[in-house]
Amino acid sequence: MDVAPLMEIQLFDPNTAIALSQIMPILLLALTVELRRTELHHRGRSPKLTRIILGIFFGAFAIIETGCVMSIDGHLFPTRPSDLIVALIIFVLLWLLFLLSLVNSPHDEHHPRRK
């Protein structure tokens, strides 16, 4: 006997979720490359505030991307354990990308290399 779930949450149809989960990481990678090239994380009146704003953006992006990946099978809830594991891996990798985008280059003229 097949029991229907008590509640089902659907954010996107499967085709939209698949497209977004493939396109969004490419856009984020391009944004990260531009962030490093323009050294945006060193600019502004307060570089700390700039980094916080970028962190909020990356966090929101990670949540949306995780939701897209979890919605590929047509619904966000109920989830399978494998969906949760993959979502956690993606979320951690996106935060790692954010942290790496803030690391200074050894050839950075703003912060000379230690001898």
Domain residue spans in the chain? 14-102
* pLDDT confidence of residue 107: 67
Amino acid symbol at 114? R
- C-alpha distance from residue 68 to each of 18, 52, 108 (Å): 7, 24, 36
**Spatial contact of 34 and 43, defined as CB atoms under 8 Å apart:** no
**To the nearest 5 percent, what fractions of the chain are helix, strand and coil?**
65, 0, 35
Give the Cα separation of 48 and 58 in Å (integer): 15
Q: pTM of the predicted model, to two decimals? A: 0.66
Query: Taking 70 as the threshold, does the pLDDT of residue 68 lie above it?
Result: yes
* pLDDT confidence of residue 114: 44
pLDDT higher for 113 or 92? 92
Q: Quick one: CA dihedral 91, 23, 83, 66, positive or negative?
A: positive
Give the Cα separation of 56 and 62 in Å (integer): 10
